[in-house]
Amino acid sequence: MSYREQYEAWLANFAADAETAAELRAIAGDEKEIEDRFYRGLSFGTAGMRGVLGAGTNRMNGYTVRRATQGLADYLNAHGKNPTVVIAYDSRRKSADFALQTALVLAANGVHAKLFDALRPVPVLSFAVRRLKADAGVVITASHNPPQYNGYKVYGPDGAQIGPETADEVTAAIEALDYGAAKPLDPETAKARGLLTMIGDADVDDEYIRRVQSLSINPEIVRQEGRTLKIVYTPLHGSGNVPVRRILREIGITSVSVVREQELPDPDFSTVKVPNPEDPNAFTLAMKLADEVGAEVCFATDPDCDRLGVAVRERDGKFRLLTGNQIGCLMMHYILSGKKANGTLPKNGAVVKSIVSTQLAKPICDAHGVALFDTLTGFKFIGEMIQQFEDTGSHTFLFGFEESYGYLSSTFVRDKDGVNASMLIAEAAAYYKAQGKNLADVMNEIFETYGYYLEHVQSATMPGVDGLKLMADAMARIRRDPPKAIGGIKVAQVLDILAGTRTDLATGRVEKLAYPESDVLYFAMEGGHFVCVRPSGTEPKIKLYVNVNHRDRAEAEKLLAHLTAEAARLLTA
């Protein structure tokens, strides 16, 4: 059907839904808005689905949520008997309602739904899927997107987000359905039939916190220093408030000041433009409070508490925001050096990072005798690598990270974990405080030791039906004529991950890549720099990654500015 036919069908089919009907009638004269809402169905992939709230096939609403859930139920019932799904949600608009609707549609299909009774972070859901031996998990969240968004993330029985093959099967099941096909049970009937169970505080949370605490590297030193280390934390109105404060308290860090204006759930995220710990503006209130209480470090988690941002106080008293790469390398350095000092660093230790994350990880791993693996962007691929290590016994997983502020040092969770990361960064701050250092000092030492690895990420937003074509055209154009040099620096290798090839430009030799198919172009450059271009998996934009390194900070900064300006031409040429 055309977008206009879809619009008319919704007006007719859902006329009894007063709220939806009124919203659709209100846009009757806005053809562009109708087109945007109905030109496609909200896409479902390895990251589930995410979109703006509202009526329409290309929006997050009860119909799209129930339809996706019906497709998931059909998939699960086709692959096993009496399946179980764990469901969590964050503080966003309609999250609790969408979570309940998900549970009731599953129950109507004979799937046992285990629904958390209040907000829970993504890592707790990932842990619960594994601990409760569930067949799948669902989290209702749009992560760090603006308040008008929500989303639906699906997890497999391993606790990681579903992979491409599973996503394709679920997508096929969803696309076979009409939007009104899913018929949820009422809550009382679902509970009476044993198909809806509520998960309370002690069922999963206590064991999760205990397991996170077991990841501590230097618990005694942390308890000694934790009484005087001053930290400011903001959950940005999200699900991290309870578990992050609890883990800090239980490892002995007691002087934690919480940003009161951002402590409680607020679906409008009224104190920030976007609830994103990557955004410096998210730290405005935290830094103000840190100056008032004399804190040495402040950090923020996003609404579903899978990402962590950190600001550290420099020697001049000012705060410095760390990048996701810097936070990851700080944590990795702390873990590897701490385990080496304690005699607990395994000979087959491994760190896993995404391909677009900093190459600074390589010399740090080399210095500690630890293997480093790259994966595609998406923490599910790090989760898959953890499972591969366990299946083969080839390596012991120590740490995984992405430049987009996601970190993990456990194997009992298979997604990025803001609670785990909060504990690690606080513990590192306490440990180095005992040595008379702060985290800014340690980051500077890492740069001085291994070189200044700097990075810049920028995006070109291309919304709507025209945006999809613009993104596809831009990627096709770059792929047809990949650059041989960028900003005067030669490209050594071109990795076309959609084609599955690595081309050496000096020799012309072409090798097959082991990565799954993905629309990514990666330019490995002479000198160890790289530029990468890829469409975002969750937003209508193309992302450009630029990474450089140099032994001198000023030269590295100059090189980054130059290469960023030149690489940006790839998106507009």
Residues with catalytic function: 143
Q: Which residues, 6+ apart, have CB-to-CB distance to 151 below 8 Å?
A: 47, 48, 49, 50, 51, 60, 140, 141, 142, 143, 145, 538
Q: Angle at Cα 560 formed by Cα 352 and Cα 540, nearest 5°?
A: 65
Query: What are the beta bridge partners of residue 151?
Result: 50
Question: Are 518 and 501 spatial neighbours (Cβ–Cβ below 8 Å)?
Answer: no
Strands 319-321 and 349-354: unpaired
* Rounded Cα–Cα distance for residues 229 and 430 (Å): 6
Angle at 122 (CA atoms; ends 120, 126), nearest 5 degrees: 110
**In 10 A of CB 506, how many CB atoms?**
10
Residues 203 and 209 sit within 8 Å (Cβ to Cβ) = no
Question: Side chain identity at 424, as an amino acid letter?
Answer: L
Distance CA 406, CA 277 (A): 11
Q: Regarding beta strands 112-116 and 84-89, do their DSSP bridges make them parallel or antiparallel, or are they unpaired?
A: parallel
| Separation CA 518–CA 479 (nearest Å) | 13
CA distance 415 to 156: 11
Residue 460 structure tokens: 């070109």
Return all residues near 235 (Cβ < 8 A) that are at least 6 apart. 241, 244, 258, 262, 263, 300, 301, 305
For residue 341, give both structure tokens.
């000092």
* Strand ranges inside 163-252, DSSP E: 196-199, 231-234
Could you give phi then psi for residue 149, rounded to 5 degrees? -100, 155
